[in-house]
Amino acid sequence: MTLDDVIKHYFTDVSSKNRSKHTLALYRRSLALLSRLLAEKCQVTELEAVTVLHLRECVQVLLATWVTGGPSEERPRHRWGRKLDGGEKLSVSSVRSYVRVWKAFFNWCYQEELIEKNPVARLSLPRPEKKVQSMVTVEQMEQMLATCDRSTPVGFRDYAILVLFFDTGMRLSELAALRVEDVDDTYVKVHGKGRKEREIGVYPETSKLVWKYVHKYRRPAEKDEGALFLGKVGPLTAGGVKQVIERAKRSAGLGDEGISPHAFRRAFAMLYLEQGGDLFDLSREMGHSDVQVTRIYLEGYESQQARKKHNAFSPVALLRLNRRPKQKRKE
């Protein structure tokens, strides 16, 4: 059996299991990439011929791969380790997402008895990069909010989007998918990963902003339009929400500050804990399947908290700096 034929059959099975279109797109992209790598780098096209050594070689190729921006940042053009002008290394997190799909595919093949040995049984995910992730600060939020002209429909919409994003820590796709019927006075109903619904509380001032936007500034072209946030020609997409953030960021002079949609989510997690919130409650509101996933956000939180306490405990405080040395008397 050729690998490509089995992949087609795998998609037929997976598509019937209520996976979201984003998940299916990731599966399709990841397995197409695997098929290319095995054929070009390992000269393997048959399913039974794939070994763990082949898969490890594919992982190493991706870790050394340089990419250039294509029509979408989520669909980089791979250059198999050859650096191009303006390119950058494929991130470890991207490689890990590819490998997870590969493991799911071969586990399925093994369960369906298409292969006698499972090549991913001893395939490990690359170690994640440990670095302090950027987050939106309170000061930066105030600067961005100050750029929104709340006397206009677009300006008020942008203001409400930024505040709701900061208040709830929901994912970009979740915010873009919100509908008017999902909004309550004290919470919003979110349609998260795996098509799981959850409720996230909203601060009273945030609730007032969203209510005012809906009743005063939201102007749907069609009476039965259900999307909460609207653009010029229909529902505001995830890309449209990104543009809202980019516009506010540039207008506030924060273009080089690393503020991204996910930085809002990290800010929510860290500030929630800083205010004394419970980790388990935070995990539920963020839509994580396990508290351990939420702890990833704590790594940056703990290092930043330690940094803020640095001045109180720095050994440099013990030094007598900026004091002139005593001059020797001339005999």
Q: pLDDT tens, position by position, for the chain (331 residues)?
A: 899 999 999 998 888 887 777 888 899 999 999 999 999 999 999 999 999 999 999 999 999 887 654 434 444 455 554 444 445 678 888 899 999 999 999 999 999 999 999 999 999 999 876 655 678 888 999 999 999 999 999 999 999 999 999 999 888 999 999 999 999 999 999 887 766 788 888 899 999 999 999 999 999 988 899 999 999 889 999 999 999 999 999 999 997 777 888 888 888 888 888 888 888 888 888 888 777 777 766 665 566 666 666 666 666 666 666 655 556 565 5
pLDDT score recorded for residue 317: 66
Radius of gyration (C-alpha) of the chain in whole angstroms: 25
In whole angstroms, give the CA distance from residue 198 to residue 187.
10
199 vs 136, 170, 207, 232, 277, CA distance in Å? 23, 10, 14, 29, 17
Q: Locate tokens 């619904």: which residue?
A: 197
In whole angstroms, give the CA distance from residue 247 to residue 245.
5
pLDDT score recorded for residue 231: 92
In whole angstroms, give the CA distance from residue 296 to residue 135.
14
- Alpha helices (runs of H) in the chain, residue ranges in sequence order: 3-15, 21-41, 52-63, 92-111, 138-145, 153-168, 172-176, 204-212, 238-251, 261-274, 279-286, 291-308, 310-313
Give residue limits of the domains in the chain: 3-111, 138-308
For residue 78, which phi and psi values (nearest 5 degrees)?
A: -80, 140
SS (H, E, C) 282-309: HHHHHCCCCHHHHHHHHHHHHHHHHHHC
pTM: 0.61
Tokens representing residue 135 in the block: 């987050």
pLDDT score recorded for residue 277: 81
pLDDT score recorded for residue 285: 85
Q: Which CATH architecture has domain 138-308?
A: Orthogonal Bundle (1.10)
Q: Locate tokens 């005999």: which residue?
A: 331
CA 22 to centroid of chain Cα atoms? 13
Q: Locate tokens 């980019």: which residue?
A: 246
At CB < 8 A and 24+ separation, what contacts does 229-235 make?
229/157, 229/160, 229/161, 229/175, 229/176, 229/178, 230/157, 235/176
For residue 183, which phi and psi values (nearest 5 degrees)?
A: -100, 125
In whole angstroms, give the CA distance from residue 98 to residue 82.
20
